[in-house]
A and B are shown apart, each in its own frame.
Chain A
């Protein structure tokens, strides 16, 4: 071609004409869907404390377990994807999003076998969350330990 735009000008032009999701609507959807998941969690927690005589720790464990189970079932029926499409981070940040990110590759890679399919690929999406989550808690632990020795906490 005779006239070729330089890369920067082209990227700026592309950016200008590419439509984006409306952030305000996205945030609003994330807020109510994320909130709804938390309300369900709170309801499970209260029910197990009030009706099943659980202590605080047991109630918390039941809450996570049931939410994870619900998310995995919804993932299997391809429903969680629709919730996440609407809710965005509101559906991805709670524990249900984590469960979805583990269940989805397990379903997808089932065909490639128990070890090299499910075994290897199960944490393709969740892996970084686990790695950096564990690492961050380790760093915080060291900081806490130092502060404790220094007598600050």
Chain B
């Protein structure tokens, strides 16, 4: 078999897997944002008809997977693996959402970068021939995340301007294999994945996640462009997960210092998902759901409409827990980069 690993951290697929189908389920706040019309389901009940935020998050995961499967034309039994993750301790959002699907599961944690991690692993698995179809799913929920990482929802405090707002949403993607006879050019392809390292610039402010994650995003974008020997101008968009306004500004500067100007290509899911002035979300949206629903809803729509042919999708994550934070540790970041292409038919 030909070597598909290129450069230091990238895998470039000989037969790039496709995203056969995808689905997004979001909460009310996201449903009032500028991307509302792109989502499959907007649920006004924050508990998704269940008793708690956590059960609600699981229900959201279940609905996202179910919708992706129904839209795909294949059945549940055609899916060999699920790669899933969320922000909650021991991945309870994912576990209880997936337990009735009866499909083998890999539970993943990459903080808010999990969407990139799950898609990368699903793509690698199907490209290697270990499965014909794999499902990648991630979720986050404002209520459950606030409860775990910050304060109870009803507690009154002032959020700094650099704080982000956890997106209530789940995105699911069915990744399927292709071969030279059937390149399936009508679907978007994941042509390469660059796995990110843990990057720590010593930031300790958990209310400024953008600053914690921007160096990791810069690092993986730099490595991806170097490994593939490409220039930012060869992409229609370079899309980060949830850096927010401040993190985006830092990312652009860090890459400029390293000789890559991405200012005209860069877009951030966290900045796009809310109308910051009207919805008072400060620096933007965050969470595993943020990049997942923006990819599923907005980005893949733009690609199917041939508005964008090639994008670099870079979900970003801040690696902390309340324990590491209280014990005074820094907040490292991580990010994974995927090249997604839509061929002209």
Contacts and interface: CB of A to CB of B under 8 A. Distances in A.
B169 interface: no
Given A18-B162, A18-B246, A19-B161, A91 B208 contact: no
A80 B156 contact: yes
A17 interface: yes
Interface in B228-279: 246, 249-250, 254, 257-259
B158 interface: yes
B153 interface: yes
B158 A88 contact: yes
Interface centre among B201, B223, B246 (most CB of A within 10 A): B201
Contacts of B306: none
Nearest to A106: B152
Contacts of A91: 156
Contacts of A5: 201, 254, 257
B231 to A, nearest CB: 16
A67 interface: no
A3 B258 contact: yes
Is the contact region of chain A dominated by helix, strand, or loop, or is it mixed? helix
Interface residues of B, number: 33
Contacts of B219: 1
A13 B247 CA distance: 12
Nearest to B330: A7
Contacts of B162: 18-19
Contacts, number: 100
Contacts of B155: 81, 100-101, 104-105, 125
Contact of B154 (A3, A19, A97, A103): A103
A84 B156 contact: yes
B161 A3 contact: no
B154 A84 contact: no
Contacts of A109: 152
Contacts of A97: 156
A21 B162 CA distance: 10
A58 interface: no
Interface residues of A, number: 41
A56 interface: no
Interface centre among B156, B160, B162, B215 (most CB of A within 10 A): B156
A78 B222 contact: no
Contact of B201 (A10, A21, A104): A10
A1 B154 contact: no
B163 to A, nearest CB: 11
B158 A108 contact: no
Nearest to A108: B152
18 contacts: A1-B218, A1-B258, A5-B257, A7-B201, A7-B202, A10-B202, A10-B215, A11-B202, A14-B211, A20-B160, A20-B161, A76-B154, A81-B156, A83-B156, A85-B157, A85-B159, A88-B158, A103-B154
Interface of B: 51-52, 147, 151-162, 201-203, 205, 208, 211, 215, 218-219, 222-223, 246, 249-250, 254, 257-259
Which A-B residue pairs are the 3 nearest by beta carbons?
Answer: A84-B156, A7-B202, A108-B152
